[in-house]
Chains A and B, each alone.
Chain A
Amino acid sequence: MARAVTPRRKALNTVAAWSVALIIFFPVLWMILTSFKTEPSAVAMPPQLFSADWTLENYSEVWARSDYPRFFWNSVVISVGSTLLGLAIAIPAAWSMAFVPGKRTKDLLMWMLSTKMMPAVAVLIPMYLIFQRTGLFDTKTGLVLALMLMNLPIIVWMLYTYFKEIPGEILEASRMDGASLWKEIVYVLTPMAVPGIASTMLLNVILAWNEAFWTITLTTTKAAPLSAFIASFSSPQGLFYGKLSAASTMAIAPILILGWFSQKQLVRGLTFGAVK
């Protein structure tokens, strides 16, 4: 809304908005600050916002004591892999729903979303058994599959809303121009939907990165991503705030940075294309 306001009003707004934003951000900030404190000053009373004895010791200790690169790499493979696989399956489905809608398209979409409402815990034991039996337990392949299926409804829905914005005449034009269905999707639809696909990818990488149920229950060591890394850290480390904060910061830093850099696409993705 481009409405003229007085400078005084703008200053007031700025102060208010920044206060609220800092309150929301403060827990993350406090965690990051704590990760640079020595253990005694991390629990010092009264608390110190900036401690005098800055240290990187927490990080070096966490790094030395656990195999962070492996957890990190597992997280990358699982979140990116599940997202790409999901896109490969979802793009044709979303094409169908958006450009050849039938009477039951809406129901189908809603059914897909409703599969996400099933509490994961409810099927934990069967999933555990299935994963053990099929050799998928504690493998990256297994988690890629699981997280792909978990996020597939969201991916389909987001792509569907983006595709619907593309005029069907353009796809018909490509059909008149002699493009097969496959070429129509590869040469015309996908390039036109790049911004939407990018947003969808980003959001789903984040959702997969932050998933902390299947990633913890269906892994032990080999395929465990950062969510398992942090869960394992909190129990034996007990109240070593500095190290716990350092480990936590290391777990969320990659995705936090990715999210901040791609803010624009992400905001678009976050709204699921459903709000304009």
Chain B
Amino acid sequence: MGGKRKKCESEERDGEEVDGGDPSNSNKRQILPSMIKNKEKRSAVHAILKHQKKLEKRKKAKARDAAEKRALELGEEPPPKKTPRTIENTREFDETVCKPDDEELFAGNDADEFSSILKRECTPKILITTCRFNSTRGPAFISELLSVIPNAHFYKRGTYDLKKIVEYAKNKNFTSIIVVHTNRREPDALLIIGLPDGPTAYFKLSKLVLRKDIKNHGNPTAHKPELVLTNFTTRLGHRIGRLIQALFPQDPIFCGRRVVTFHNQRDFIFFRHHRYIFENRESKQGDSKVKKSKGTKGENIPQEKVVARLQECGPRFTLKLISLQHGTFDTKGGEFEWVHKPEMDTSRRRFFL
């Protein structure tokens, strides 16, 4: 607190010194409530400012609404709705974002480690194992992963080295290994190793909610699920996306109505598992009539409308990529394709996936 105050003072003094040079700047500074040292005074000024802002905002919203209404009455196009500025849509320009017309990208895809699975030349076969010591939530999570990923096999870790397990899995024609790492009885990391020579991705795992903790959860069937990967835009993201895609069989059974989602947002990958259903529902006549009378978009509502409903099956978790390694697991002598380094954090609007 004291330090902060001192800093304030020095800033003020600086401001006074500069005063002659840039008066507008110093004026602006004087208004800021954070410069006021007396708390009561500060909060009073702050309250006034906040109130003014609120009024302004309300005025703006009113004006906007009025303009829209007037446009509708006159039969004109209403003014276009503004899109809010979010961190994602003001993302820093990244030249590694994949473009759909990039033939080199497709050539690279054809040549990469996952192409044989994704072209359905071989079926994925997954080995799931744990870290050396695991209990409670770890096994529970694994049993749910086994129900999510078809053709996944759990093997006890025992005291084997991971490199030995990789060798074993290679010989048994597994295509991927998933290692669930638990710390203090809570799963906290996920390691996905592509086989035989695919990359190794290390994810931080957080916000794990198991199936039984989800309200109104459904129980998944044994059908092969559909897979949704969203927002994997850059080269690195694309590669991670393909790595995840290679875990699942490429021929989903649609009558199972099961969908597994990996959604990337600001470099966090959200995992969700749902069952969906399309239901034909009698649309209420009265409702649509009211809408028709209002003259909005009521005309083409059918008598029966299809409603999609979702039921979450769990588990639910969030992944964050820590590193992507070239080749199979080798912490000591591995070559990294991507590792996070502090010098890369230049902005909160910079994303890698």
A, B assembled together: no
List the interface of chain B (C-beta within 8 A of A). Answer: none
List the interface of chain A (C-beta within 8 A of B). Answer: none
